[in-house]
Amino acid sequence: MQLLRAIGFFRGNILIFSATIGAGIFVSPKGVLKYSSLNVAVSLSIWAVCAVLTLISALSHAELGTTFPRSGAQYYFLKRSLGSSVAFLSLWIKLFTHPLRLATESLLLSTYTIQPFYAGCPAPELPKRCLALAILWSLGLVNTRGVRTVTWFQTISTLAKMTVLCFISLTGIVLLAIGEKENVARFENALDAELPDVSRIAEAFLQGLFAYSGTSILISIAGEIKNPGENIPKSLITVLPIVAVIYLLVNVSYLAVLTPKEIISADAVAVTWTDKIIPSMQWVISFGISTSILSNMCCTVLSASRMIYTASQEGQLPSIFSMLNNHSCPSMAVGQIIILTSIVIITSDLINLIRYSVLAIWFLRGLHMIGLLKLRYQEPSLPRPYKVPLPFVFGSIAISLFLILTPLIQAPKLEHIYGLVFICSGLLCYWIHVHLNQHSVCFFKITCSLQLLFNVSPPEDHDELPIVAQQTKNLTSP
């Protein structure tokens, strides 16, 4: 019973496509335009800069997964470099940000699926939320079948999403090439529009970066990748430039057909775009977009479950979450992230969900880079198959500081105080975790009962088992 190294270069590329191209390109254009003060030139520039920033950050984080090629590499790296308290803090934040991301994708997917039944008016909230829960739990079942099943599912869904995005992109190019006055007019006077202030630009970056926030998928599952020292950076360099070009072309196509005001008022931008171009193809576009978001959600569940799995192995979560089923999948960790997301789905303000989740992601990325610098200084002889240039590391830290501090300084809000209280509550939970007796006999009996109920057992890699998991395994041995 072990996690299998079943993902090579091709499957790694598929996973990056699936994890990156999802909800973001269909919901973020609305937020980027809103915070760009409806300035088309600024909006497109932000999309281009977001691609560069994401590539820098992704290549910087690739060193984490290649130096420590195990699932949940970001969490393990923080514990190794900055200590248990910081690692627990990252776990605390991700236990909320992963459900936020999944809830955003679930609600958007249900909107795109239901909207064709309600032509001319918004879909009711109750059916959208019920469908979002049904989709979420179905993906949980797919993930419990193991990483090979997930990658086959992602290969098929990636072909569907690329077909839809290429159709949208090529249609926009054709419309601009024809040169109809209505389509070209939005770009002719783009530089004369109002410029947003610094705080709004930072908010626009948060919206745009959400569309790229799945690029760390291979680092999260580094323990299941063949030859991670070579395949992780190679896949990032191959895929991310292609994604950046597609995102720019899709945004140009949206703007060639819809006005900025129509974009920011649309719940489903691509469906509104289709209504203007080919109304009869609305079902085809809706299906392709739904498939795209579905595959993205599947990757998020995969990544989040591996983080919970590793934290359990390191003794910072109950040992039941590090146990595998007969498909070599941490099914209890998958169940945990599905339950948390089901609770979050009651919130439906997508733009706010994006802001909170991206802020947390870049806060953790800044911590990762600080830990990387510290580990390079303390352990210079540590084997590093891939070593990122230091300017990339300092650039990632600067990006994190800009995105986090600019809104706090320029336009402080009550929600920022809530964020600080949330982080402090994570440190309080860590103190409780350390100072209370977590391993009582009653706790072991509950773990054994859950093992029998869900047919799971600890992995057979005894060297990486914490004392708690090893004791639990002994209790269940004949």
pLDDT tens digit sequence for 40-58: 888 888 999 989 988 888 8
pLDDT of residue 468: 37
pLDDT tens digit sequence for 325-383: 887 888 888 888 898 888 878 765 554 555 566 677 778 888 888 888 888 888 888 88
User: Does the pLDDT of residue 289 top 80, yes or no?
Assistant: no
pLDDT tens digit sequence for 9-38: 988 899 898 888 876 787 778 888 888 887
Question: What is the pLDDT confidence band of residue 473, given thresholds at 50, 70 and 90?
Answer: very low
Quick one: average pLDDT of 108-119?
75
pLDDT of residue 222: 86
The contacts of residue 201 (CB under 8 Å, 6+ apart) are: 35, 36, 42, 46, 406
pLDDT of residue 472: 38
Quick one: average pLDDT of 126-154?
86
Q: How many CB atoms lie within 10 A of CB 432?
A: 10
Residue with tokens 């929600």: 415
Report the CATH superfamily, name and number, of domain 9-440: Amino acid/polyamine transporter I (1.20.1740.10)
Instruction: Pick 243 or 113 by higher pLDDT.
Output: 243
Quick one: average pLDDT of 271-292?
77
Cα-trace Rg, the chain: 22
Quick one: average pLDDT of 305-320?
84
CA 273/CA 276 separation, integer angstroms? 5
CA 41/CA 188 separation, integer angstroms? 10
Four-point Cα dihedral 258, 259, 263, 264, nearest 10: -170
Domain ranges of the chain: 9-440
pLDDT of residue 183: 61
Q: Nearest to residue 20, comparing CAs of 183, 264, 216, 181? A: 216
The CB-based long-range contact list for 313-316 (8 Å cut-off, 24+ gap) reads: 313/459, 313/464, 313/465, 313/466, 313/469, 314/75, 314/76, 314/79, 314/87, 314/466, 315/466, 315/467, 315/468, 316/84, 316/87, 316/88, 316/91, 316/433
**Mean pLDDT for all residues in the chain:** 79
Write the single-letter amino acid at 220.
S
pLDDT tens digit sequence for 59-111: 888 888 888 888 888 888 888 888 888 888 888 888 887 887 788 778 878 87
Q: Nearest to residue 336, comparing CAs of 308, 373, 378? A: 308
Four-point Cα dihedral 441, 444, 448, 450, nearest 10: 120
Question: What is the pLDDT confidence band of residue 476, given thresholds at 50, 70 and 90?
Answer: very low
User: Does the pLDDT of residue 385 top 60, yes or no?
Assistant: yes
